[in-house]
A and B are shown apart, each in its own frame.
Chain A
Amino acid sequence: MNDFALVSKNLWRKPVRTILLIISITIAFLILSLMLSFNSSLSNVNTLPTRMVTLSKINFTESLPIAHYDRIARTEGVRAATHMNWFGGYYQDPARGFLPVFAVDPETYFQVYAEDLGIPAAERDAFFRERTAMLVAAPVAERWGWRVGQRIPINSNIFTNGTTGSSTWEFTLVGTIPTPPGSSQSGSVLIHYDYFNETITFGRDRIGWVPFLTTSAEMNDSVANAIDQRFANSQDETSTQDEATFNESFAAQLGNIGLVITLVVSAAFIAILLIVGTTMALAVRERTREVGVMKTLGFSSGRVLRMVLAESLLLSFLGAAVGLGLAALILTVLASSGGGGGPAISFAPIVIAWAALIALALGLVTGLPPALQAYRMRIVDAFARR
């Protein structure tokens, strides 16, 4: 036996009480991890510091003329550039079958997003060769049961296919994009821009936005300035930002997510702070006599204080660990069952740091009052009270 054994025996003295406390602490940490993971997946999906994007100054839904692309690609400091169009895709049912389909220029797309795409070379080359080819994020293919080689009808809720007069295009699935957690490709469907451009009935020779790589992150500002100046006062003015800034400003449109998360997480932690704090105080009060005995036997006040603090810290970290584990489990299950649009929420490593810090604070705040009470308790008083 040692002090830690004694601390843990004390913690589990009333198992029901301890389990209930761990449940409420777990819930608070679960809320914390889910919300932080959600928040960081809104802005930090596999961004590259050197990857920037140029879009219409009016708004990202406005298109740009294709001529812009060549000029951006030739700008000094741009290493590689590509262009993308939003297709407004869905499969079968517009309400349920939403698909983030992008019309891309295949070769340059693979230059700009090389780090993200772990596609086998054979599948990549098949995509390059075939004009009606389509690449699909693995979870999307899985969700709809598509096999490589199949021809898949995809609808657009924006464009009309000039060759058929309908909103449907048929694409051949030539490969799937593996999606590691946090990948920006988690829901994507890629098709050829050339094929798209030739078949649409309006909006020809326009592109949605231009992602590109700079030669180094220090060049970002000057490249952005050069591009935006180049198109200033033209019909199609541009706005150039790095990827992370763009994602953040998009997330900000949903509302003040940071504030909402702060409020909700605070509410959860204030609630458990009170619950755990009062229960720890009661638990130590119930042990007044035992604290007296320990001190009589020769345990110093400091050692008694440390043991009470260790108990509340142990409780707090147990709850935090279970909460984090549960959050990781939930997010893993969600990620594997997902496949719908949008970036999948994955467990953000920053959560662990925050959780550890908060668990430490929670343990100290809830443990300190009873620990000090035990520290100050005089032996004579401990036995006088019954």
Chain B
Amino acid sequence: MASLLDQIGAVTSLNLRSIPQRGAMSVASVVAVALTIAVLLFFLALANGLRSTVEGSGSEDVAIAIREGSNAELNSVVTRDQLAILATGPNVAQRDGVPVVSGELLVIVDGVKRSSGTNANMPFRGIGPEGLALRRSVNITQGRMFSPGTNEIVVGAGLLREFSGFEFGQTIRIRGGEWQVVGVFEAPGMVFESELWADIAVTQSLFNRPNVYQTMRIQLTSPAAVQAYRTWAEGDTRLNGLEILSERDYYARQASQSTQGFMAIAWILGIMMAIGALAGALNTMYSSVAARASEIATLRIIGFSGWAAFFGTMVEALALSALGGVLGVIIAFVAFNGRTTSTLGSGFTQLVFKFDLSPSIIATAIVVAIIIGLFGGLLPGIRAARQRPQLELASG
């Protein structure tokens, strides 16, 4: 008698070869799994792209001062006096004897989404003279940086791709004031690429927010200096009510807030669809077992074990669902991976990012497909294993 392994091999190959006989049903269950995986991947890749963009935006050696309790820059307030004090802290980097700090104000202006033609909120950031210096990964790729004290703006390349109204060279009217777009900057994979930048003083004046700052960014000499800087700031009563953290930590916190919703949708929809696909897989496998009742009975009479019948069914179910999983991943790659999209980020402004299928997400999706296959093969497999070796069935 052949070993159990040989038996399983023999029965499995019979099973797999019989798949085309149930062609339509097998295809249906493969497609159901594929669509489930594609929907799951859609939202996971969306959340992942959003998260990696937000997370990748902060530097470790830049500290950000923000009002305690403010979830976003928009709600924060930092006074002019506080700004001056913050610039005198320990380990603040200097350039030509000037501290590399930037007091900033973020306001919202309207842009038009290219794909839909609808209005959307654009973040318009007033930055200090050192604002560009402390964002080292930002490059001006077209035109030039705005000149301090003028009503010039530079626009992020990501914003320009998704929204219209801020094209290079254009003059824009906002609140009675005119602005000139003099440059385009790139900051690949960062939230800044979805922003408009202008001089802080001009922004304050043209948006009627005299002397209002929301955040202060401080370039420190090293990532390790953040802790000491924070301790120093906490010891100064004039800085009460401000929270100091590294820019990286700030954006990490933002990232988890903005992706929570998408992750929840991904899994709620993914699990629901997986249940639907599982029901389909179970049906297909029960039909497979029923269609091969006489074949299984014959094998059992010859002396094959119930285990062989069980594994044959199991492998068939796994093969179908794995095929569905791979198909789902292919759909995801073709349909949306790497595509640029935008949504409302924290602070009610649009954030441009790309769908990002990471290896771990793909692995997750394949595991989900295999779980569908495991459950889809389990009960029908047990039924196959219990098929009695009876002659009347074998002859039928």
Check whether chain A touches chain B (CB < 8 angstroms): yes
Q: How many B residues have CB within 8 A of the partner chain?
A: 58
Complex contacts, A157 vs chain B, CB 8 Å: 67, 69-71, 75-76
Q: Is the CB of A237 within 8 A of B175?
A: yes
Q: How far, in Å, is A333 (CB) from chain B's closest CB?
A: 14
Q: Is the CB of B287 within 8 A of A202?
A: no
> Which stretch, B108-116, B314-322, B386-394, touches the partner chain A?
B108-116
Q: Within the assembled complex, what's the spacing in Å between the Cα atoms of A282 and B280?
A: 13
A167 and B69 in contact, given A252-B118, A255-B343, A274-B27 (Cβ under 8 angstroms) = yes
Q: Is the CB of A24 within 8 A of B115?
A: no
Q: How far, in Å, is B109 (CB) from chain A's closest CB?
A: 6
Q: Binary interface profile of A, 16-28, with partner B (CB < 8 Å = 1, else 0)?
A: 1100110110011
Size category, A interface: 35 or more
Task: Tell me the chain A residues, 250-299 only, with Cβ under 8 Å from chain B.
Answer: 252-256, 263-264, 267-268, 270-272, 274-275, 277-279, 281-282
Question: B145 interface residue, CB < 8 Å from A?
Answer: no
Complex contacts, B212 vs chain A, CB 8 Å: 202
Q: Binary interface profile of B, 46-72, with partner A (CB < 8 Å = 1, else 0)?
A: 000000000000000000000111110
> Which stretch, B179-187, B270-278, B292-300, touches the partner chain A?
B270-278
> Which stretch, B9-17, B29-37, B194-202, B305-313, touches the partner chain A?
B29-37
Q: How far, in Å, is A124 (CB) from chain B's closest CB?
A: 31
Complex contacts, B269 vs chain A, CB 8 Å: 31, 264
Among residues of B, the one whose C-beta sits closest to the C-beta of A283 is: B287
Question: A300 interface residue, CB < 8 Å from B?
Answer: no
Among residues of B, the one whose C-beta sits closest to the C-beta of A275 is: B280
Q: How far, in Å, is A110 (CB) from chain B's closest CB?
A: 28
Question: B374 interface residue, CB < 8 Å from A?
Answer: no
Q: Within the assembled complex, what's the spacing in Å between the Cα atoms of A359 and B273?
A: 18
Q: How far, in Å, is B81 (CB) from chain A's closest CB?
A: 13
Q: How far, in Å, is B287 (CB) from chain A's closest CB?
A: 6
Question: B245 interface residue, CB < 8 Å from A?
Answer: no
Q: Is the CB of B287 within 8 A of A27?
A: no
Which residue among B36, B69, B119, B283 has the maximum number of chain A CB atoms within 10 Å of its CB? Answer: B283
Q: How far, in Å, is A317 (CB) from chain B's closest CB?
A: 17
Q: Is the CB of A59 within 8 A of B24?
A: no
Question: A225 interface residue, CB < 8 Å from B?
Answer: no
Task: Tell me the chain A residues, 208-258 only, with Cβ under 8 Å from chain B.
Answer: 233-237, 249, 252-256
Q: Within the assembled complex, what's the spacing in Å between the Cα atoms of A278 and B28?
A: 7
Complex contacts, A21 vs chain B, CB 8 Å: 279, 283
Complex contacts, A268 vs chain B, CB 8 Å: 35, 39, 273, 276
Q: Is the CB of B110 within 8 A of A28?
A: no
Complex contacts, A16 vs chain B, CB 8 Å: 286
Q: Is the CB of A24 within 8 A of B276?
A: yes
Question: A62 interface residue, CB < 8 Å from B?
Answer: yes
Instruction: Point out the residue from A94, A279, A281 that lies within 8 Å of B70, measured CB to CB.
Output: A94
Complex contacts, A278 vs chain B, CB 8 Å: 24-25, 27-28
Known: A158-B75, A271-B273, A277-B28. 13 other contacts (CB 8 A): A27-B272, A59-B107, A61-B107, A61-B108, A88-B75, A157-B71, A235-B176, A264-B39, A267-B38, A268-B276, A271-B280, A275-B276, A279-B25
Q: 24 interchain pairs (CB within 8 A)?
A: A24-B32, A27-B272, A58-B109, A59-B108, A59-B109, A61-B108, A90-B69, A234-B176, A249-B119, A253-B120, A253-B121, A264-B39, A268-B35, A268-B276, A271-B273, A271-B277, A272-B280, A274-B27, A274-B28, A275-B279, A277-B24, A278-B25, A278-B27, A279-B28
